[in-house]
Amino acid sequence: MRRPLRKTALASILFAGALLAVAVAVEAQQPKKVYRMGYLAASDRASDSARSEAIRLALRDLGYVEGHNIAFEYRYAAGKTDRYAALAEELVRLKVDVIVVAGADLLIQGAKNATQTIPIVMTGAGLDPVQAGFVQSLAHPGGNVTGITSLAGELLGKRLELLKEVVPKLSRVAVLYDPSVPDNVLDVKEIVPDAARALRGSPGTSPLQ
């Protein structure tokens, strides 16, 4: 299900802010430079259009206009994980100024393997970036990876807890996930079962599977 464009646009303003932080240091030295942004997505152009368009519009609102002072290079893996590395390397060969990664851990790692110098901006998907080894810490990332993280895995337990509060007699929950995405597998195999066991052991709760 696609996120509403409005919600996506709000998140995209954060991405745009990160991009501006990357560019501001050199902008004073090269005011007429046309920046080239690489956009690397795990999905296809159609399904990712809401997010990519929201980012483009957010950048425009901040003064970065396509054809004037910024150019976009879009690369879509269309769900094929074996294309991640090649697409990232292609953007590096094009000498983009920044790579925005619209995908989770394998895609971020692919970009990180392709370059240690071009800034890489995460868009919130995947595991804790510290746990995944992409940054040294959230306060001081170090290296060339920055952006935002949703820390979705850490919220799974809370979501399960809220579901249990809404349906007190709940005893079994089905989880649909894509097994080709490593962080999804981790969520289903480790994080969700741990949260379920914690609820099962809480006073006044019924068994939860």
pLDDT digits (tens, 9 = 90+) for 30-49: 557 899 999 999 999 998 99
Structure tokens at 51: 């997010």
**Cα→Cα distances 100→45, 138, 207, Å:** 15, 18, 43
Residue 15: the pLDDT is 62
CA 137, CA 196: separation in Å to the nearest integer?
Answer: 29
Averaged confidence pLDDT in the chain? 80
Compare 136 and 187 and report the one with higher pLDDT.
136
Q: HSE-up of 41 (CA within 13 Å, CB side)?
A: 20
CA 119, CA 91: separation in Å to the nearest integer?
Answer: 12
CA nearest 112: which of 128, 94, 138, 91? 91
Residue 90: the pLDDT is 97
Contact present, 20 and 28 (Cβ < 8 Å): no
Compare 38 and 28 and report the one with higher pLDDT.
38
Give the least confident one: 34-43, 121-130, 140-149.
121-130
Residue 91: pLDDT band (50, 70, 90) is very high
**pTM score:** 0.66
Residue 5: the pLDDT is 46
Residue 25 pLDDT > 60, yes or no? no
Residue 20 pLDDT > 90, yes or no? no
Residue 164: pLDDT band (50, 70, 90) is confident
Q: HSE-up of 38 (CA within 13 Å, CB side)?
A: 25
| Residue 143 CA, distance from chain mean position | 17
Residue 174: pLDDT band (50, 70, 90) is confident
**Contacts of the segment 66-69: beta carbons below 8 A, 24+ positions apart:** 68/34, 69/33, 69/34, 69/35
3-state helix, strand, coil in the chain (%, to 5): 50, 15, 35
